[in-house]
Amino acid sequence: MLQIYCPHCQELRSEEEFSYGGEAHIARPLAPETLTDEEWGDYLFFRKNPRGIHHEMWYHVTGCRRYFNATRNTVTYEILETYKVGTQPSIVGEGA
């Protein structure tokens, strides 16, 4: 069971308080109606599934009810950092 640092509460809390929010940094297209079906489909359905570094959203659902992002290693399950929505990760890297 993971232990996650909520950047809003500024505390390490148990995974049970959070829910997973999927891949982070996916911006909603500003003009969806101008996109082809394929482009819209990419936004809608396609997600990374890296072996290694992954940026993902978490939701402190039974805590502050705020979304934030985490950089997690999908192999070791280490959470390398958490950061607020709207900011960028300091740890980046291709999935190994």
Partner 1 sequence: MKQLNRLPNAGRTNPDQNINFTFNGKAYQGVMGDTLASALLANGVDVVGRSFKYSRPRGIVGHGAEEPNGIIQLGSGAATVPNLKVTQVELYEGLEASSVNGWPNVNFDLMGIMGWFGRLMPPGFYYKTFMYPQKLWMIYEHFIRKAAGLGKTPVEADPDVYDKLNQHCDVLVVGAGPAGLVAAREAAEAGARVIIADEQSEFGGSLLASTQTLDSVSASQWVAGMVEQLNRYSKVQQLPRSTVFGYYDHNFLTILEKCTDHLGLSAGNGRQVRQRMHRVRAKQVVLATGAFERPLVFAHNDIPGVMQASSVSTYVNRYGVAPGSKLILATTNDNAYQTAIDWHTAGRDVVAVVDSRQSPNGELVEQVRALGIQIEVGHGVIEAKGGKRVRAAMVAPLNESGSAITGEVKRLPCDLIATSGGWSAAIHLSSHTGAKPVWDESIVSFRPGDSKQQERSVGACNGTFGLRDGLIEGATAGAKAAQLAGFGLGAVQFSPVELVEPIQEPQQALFLVPHSKPPSRAPSQFVDLQLDVSAGGIELAVREGFESVEHVKRYTALGFGTDQGKLGNINGMAILANALDQSISETGTTIFRPSYTPTTFGAVAGRDVGELFDPERYTSVHRWHVEQGAKFEDVGQWKRPWYFPKGNETLDQAVNRECLAVRNSVGILDASTLGKIDIQGPDAAEFITRMYTNSYLKLASGKCRYGVMLKEDGMIFDDGVCACLSENHYLMFTTTGGAAGVLAWLELWQQTEWPELQVYFTSVTDHWATATVTGPNARKVVAKVCQDIDLTSDQFRFMDWRNGTVAGVAARVFRISFTGELSFEINVSANYGRHIWEALIEAGKEFDITPYGTETMHVLRAEKGFIIVGQDTDGSMTPADMNMDWIVGKNKAFSFIGQRSLSRSDTLRNNRKQLVGLKTIDPIIVLPEGAQIVNDPKQPIPMVMQGHVTSSYYSANMGHSIALAVVKGGLNRLGDTVYCPTADGTTVPAQIVSSVFYDPKGERQHV
Size of the site for partner 1 (CB under 8 A): 27
Subset of residues 63 to 82 that bind partner 1, contact rule: CB under 8 A: 65-67, 76-78
The DSSP annotation for 32-72 comes to: GGGS-HHHHHHHHH-----SSEEEEEEE-TTTT--EEEEEE
Q: 58, 21 in Cβ contact below 8 A? A: yes
Residue range at the interface with partner 1 (CB under 8 A); choices 37-45, 48-56, 87-95: 37-45
Q: Which residues bind partner 1 (CB under 8 A)?
A: 1-3, 14, 19, 21, 27-28, 31-33, 35, 37, 40-41, 44, 57, 59, 61, 65-67, 76-78, 85-86
